[in-house]
Chain A
Amino acid sequence: MEQLVFGYFAGVIAVAAVLVVALRNPVYSVLSLLVMFFHVAGLYITLHAEFLAAVQIIVYAGAILVLYLFVLMLLNIKQDDRYHRQWRTAAALCLPLFLELLVLFAGADPEAIDPLAAAPMNSGEDNTRAIGLTLFSTYLFPFEVASLILLVAMIGAIVLAKRGIGGQGA
């Protein structure tokens, strides 16, 4: 049963990822990415990361993809020329990665269950509570830095997008 669920999520994620790159219309690419994000959230649930699944849907699907769609509608792109001529560079870079993927495939033993996986993970414990405790004790300083990053990104986005309106720099 678990294998079946994982197979479904993994298959949809892989196909949707390929479609994001292969589809001609950027709007369809974004929608395909939306499908992928939902299935990644499902995969998180099977991995007992329920809070992350919710955050994945709220932040990625709810905020980031809506921003993409918003900009796509704003720019109103008509032409849809798709691929580069630099496919040689792409092939040179992707071939080693692909070979590594084949090595991964060859090394994957379907019978082998990792010894670490045998133990049940804090069954009954609240995932959200556990994450909150970890985030605000061990990772408190990175958390504050993350808020600073968001502030910088917000100011940067406003400055960059505002600059072109009047013609001269902001």
Chain B
Amino acid sequence: MFRILRRAAFAALFALPAAAAEKVTTFTLDNGLEVVVIEDHRAPVVVQMVWYRAGAADEKPGVSGVAHFLEHLMFKGTDTVASGELSKTVAANGGSDNAFTSSDYTAYFQRIAADRLELVMRMEADRMRNLKLTEDDWRTEREVIIEERNQRTDSDPGAIFSEQRRAAQYLNHPYGTPVIGWRQEMEHLTRQDALDWYRRNYAPNNAVLVIAGDVTPDRVRDLAETYYGPLAPSPDITERVRPQEPPQLAERRLSYSDPRVSRPYVTRSYLAPERDSGAQEKGAALTILADLLGGDGQTSFLARKLQFDSKKAIYTSAGYDGSSYDDTTFNLAVVPAEGVSLAEAEKALDEAIDEFIEGGVDTEAFERVKTRIRAATIYGQDDVNRLARRYGEALTTGLTVADVQAWPDVLDAVTEADVLAAALEVFDRRRAVTGWMMLPDRAEVMQ
């Protein structure tokens, strides 16, 4: 019965346009600030995001964590706004605000009633160029980021292991340095380090403003001209050139044991190309490859082989995030079933990958992935915050608005042959890091 229904569903969905359905307007101010407006008039809510093309991978050596440290200090006030006042003002108006830092960008956002947009645009524009840092503010905040590292990384064996693996994955590129920073460098960050970073990176010609929700492009243009328009561009913004990876020729293997680990597991990451502007095809093929291998807990290839058939694993995953300025990674993980060793689990993973490449792509599974991707353009319209994030992230990782809008079509055009070609290219052990997470008393010897 369901086979018939499924075919009917395919036919219907193939009639859907794959292209992005959101209503987007873009323009650029004279000082170089790029503006993206995404309209959604269903609720009287708006979100403002400012994204800087500056993340942890743009830091100089020796001051790891400074991008994230400054993100915290950006809430400390300006000539006209007292320390902490921005967040208090947003809250007093019923809104919420926060910020996040990654390797490639630092972003700030507020979500607020649509009639309060002007208020948050005035304050966000103000701190783009007028930040003030007092002695008390920066010293206390350095303690806070160290507590954040304690909480997020040092209290979590999985996070420690992930940090070590990433450091091994990148031989030369700063993606090997954690965004939060290495502790011994964080402990010596200064007010001057933060200000140097701020002055070098925070300017309208290094930023993207995304406004999404119940607002018109004309209104945004007026407000952006009023508040962001007068800000001087920085003459120091140059093309982002980071140290690149040399040819990776030697496989790396790591093992980590920690008494706080409950279940051992195996990870494998491969250096992989990111989505490139105007050439997203390889990124699209890798996105679909990850979905086929690990996208669904019941039907993905690794789940079927390792969890259902051989029962060597209780959990498997495959992941690829192409939104990255430089080379990214394709990641696999296996949590072995009780009584299965890490060596056996790793062997089973490798055999499954070989089998996938030899056997070719299952056509029904391939069509299901495509169907889900098309439906995602419908479901995606329900969450304007996520749409806003997608544009901000793309525009600060080397992509354009046209790339974002073309992405559903690029995914839709991927063929089974493209997926296999991408798999053959990416699964090269010379560019791979294999990790074994272990309990101290159950440690195995790694080959």
Q: Do A and B come from one complex?
A: no
- Give me the interface of B with A, judged by CB distance under 8 Å: none
- Give me the interface of A with B, judged by CB distance under 8 Å: none
